[in-house]
Homo-oligomer: A and B are copies of this chain.
């Protein structure tokens, strides 16, 4: 038991250091953007040598990957929580809550948003698996859940023009969605992705500063977007 305690101690220290590295990296990112994430800066902040970090992350990309995982998970948590907090019998309200949570999170963590959705860092290549794809699918799944509730009305308000097949979508995504919504057709998933694109586009333009050159009140535009979305889904109050 002393054994497990001490071994636990080693692992605890290691976990703490790992957490501190990620913490410092996130702080640097928040203050100086994704490019401020340099091993040397992190080490400087921690009173270490840059090479010491290699004991915790094999490469800087691995660290960035870990950060993306954490940040993306935080985003997914935020929108899921907003969804859960809204009244279940008010689909339009849930969509609004979800979307506003998404935007508010992005505006509060612009560097995080860029880290997830932009070029995180020079030459970075995302790995295959990991928490980030999971979080992406959670976001996507949440959106599909919203679309699923609205689908019966939405599909008759504006049926899909393309004939979507299940084979058009990623099996991993479907494996999470289809069990939850057995009656959902492929076109509804396409709708969810389109909605994702709508919100993502406005947010990208805003966060990367392309909207501010044309529009002085992006929040008004976003609210209008949501109003039209709710209406197009046949959920208008």
Contact = CB atoms under 8 A, between A and B. Distances in A.
Contacts of A106: none
Count this chain's copies in the assembly.
2
B136 A35 contact: no
Interface string A74-110: 0000000000000000000000000000000000000
A232 interface: yes
Nearest to A201: B201
A24 interface: no
A164 B227 CA distance: 14
Q: Which size bracket describes the interface of A in this complex?
A: 35 or more
A221 B34 CA distance: 31
Interface string A159-180: 0111010011110010000000
Contacts of A202: 194, 197, 201
Given A126-B209, A173-B214, A194-B225, A162 B220 contact: yes
Interface of A: 33-35, 114, 117-119, 121-123, 126, 133, 136-137, 140, 158, 160-162, 164, 167-170, 173, 190, 193-194, 196-205, 208-211, 213-217, 220-221, 223-225, 227-228, 231-232
7 contacts: A137-B213, A168-B216, A170-B213, A170-B216, A198-B201, A200-B201, A200-B205
